[in-house]
Amino acid sequence: MITTVDSYRLRHRLADSLRASGYLQSRRWLEAFRTVPREAFVDRFIISSPTGEQTLFDLAVDRPLALEAVYRDTNLLTQRDAGGTATSSSTTPSLMALMLERLDLWQGHSVLEIGTGTGYNTALLCHVLGDHTVTSIDIDPGLVVRARDALDGLGHHPHLIIGDGTQGVVEYAPYDRLIATCGVARVPASWLRQVAPDGVILVNLGYALARLTVDADGRATGPFTDYAAFMRLRPHPAYRTPTGREIVEMATEEGARSTVRIDGFPDYLGARPLECLRALVHPDVHKVIRHDGGGEAHVLGDPATGSWARARFIGSSRAAIVHGGVRDLWDDYMRIAQLWNEHGRPEPARYGLTITPDGVHTLWLDCPEHPVLVLD
């Protein structure tokens, strides 16, 4: 891989910006972001604007323009499946930096990365730790092959595995750190077994990061630390998550109609902390907020059961609810909202998780001694 003066300048500009904004705090990660060329791992990618407009960049077509885009602090979409669902991306650098700092990695630590993706994050880990202590796994053979080629080009040779990330990688266990660059509904018990006592698991559940420490008994406990949302871990290459359009289409059917009084709505219904809690408790229920001529509508869908709900607000205290399927998703949602209200509408960082070796997840508020919910 040949890097250019422009690449050098842009790398330093991005890294210095991440340091100035507080995402990079240690010298070693600052130097990693200054040194590892992101463009070695992405050649053709899409950037989405806040309004949803998508722009394609290609280093082979317009290198200067694409190179500038590579070093924006933004997510780069690098792969879609046949249905248009995103299946790989290069994570927003500020989030990558935050997670790497949260890992509290030191020389000699071994790390397992779940979700190789483009390989850029893998390269940052190799730069700081050295290749022999870094293991990375991805379900997509094509991604692993491309990542290996890019890493080889930079002189890095970590352990790269094609396989189901939910199973971890027993061969090189135990690990001092496990970082998941994908979202999970629940933390697999295999991860706990493969992390050494006092080791750390950093993982996205719902719309937040959890930093869990594994004890000598194989139990993991820790708080949620930051907002984050990753593509869901794929147990097999054909796995896909539904698009927002598909969720909305589910809710266009006729269902049971009711008009209910909802005190205090809609002032907090779309609150970010509430959405974090909802996505954590019901990870397979997807939510879309639509704005059209009829006002604001909240749409919920569970593709696994075919259940859906649609709520359109009438004034400030009533909502017309339409729902269908075997689950009453709106009722489930209201129970989560009530729980959040009872807790004082906390930010995600006040919540935490304890996970037993056999996989039981208990949500707690402020400390493990205050459990509030056992997650299904």
Catalytic positions: 89
Per-residue DSSP letters for 20-76? HTTS--SHHHHHHHHHS-GGGT-SEEEEE-TTS-EEEEETTT-HHHHHHHHTSSS-E
User: In whole angstroms, what is the distance from residue 370 CA to residue 170 CA?
Assistant: 34
Nearest Cα to 46, choosing from 59, 57, 37, 38? 57
Nearest Cα to 163, choosing from 134, 183, 181, 143? 143
User: In whole angstroms, what is the distance from residue 123 CA to residue 165 CA?
Assistant: 19
Asked if 122 and 158 touch (Cβ cutoff 8 Å), the reply is yes
Q: Is 291 buried (19+), middle (13-18) or exposed (0-12) by CB count in 10 A?
A: exposed
User: In whole angstroms, what is the distance from residue 31 CA to residue 27 CA?
Assistant: 6
User: In whole angstroms, what is the distance from residue 344 CA to residue 20 CA?
Assistant: 33
User: In whole angstroms, what is the distance from residue 342 CA to residue 320 CA?
Assistant: 25
Sheet containing 54-58: give its strands across.
54-58, 44-48, 76-80, 86-90
Cβ-Cβ contacts under 8 Å for 365 (sequence gap 6 or more): 343, 346, 350, 351, 352, 372
Cβ-Cβ contacts under 8 Å for 79 (sequence gap 6 or more): 86, 87, 88, 89, 140, 143
Owner of token pair 């885009």: 69
User: In whole angstroms, what is the distance from residue 165 CA to residue 232 CA?
Assistant: 11
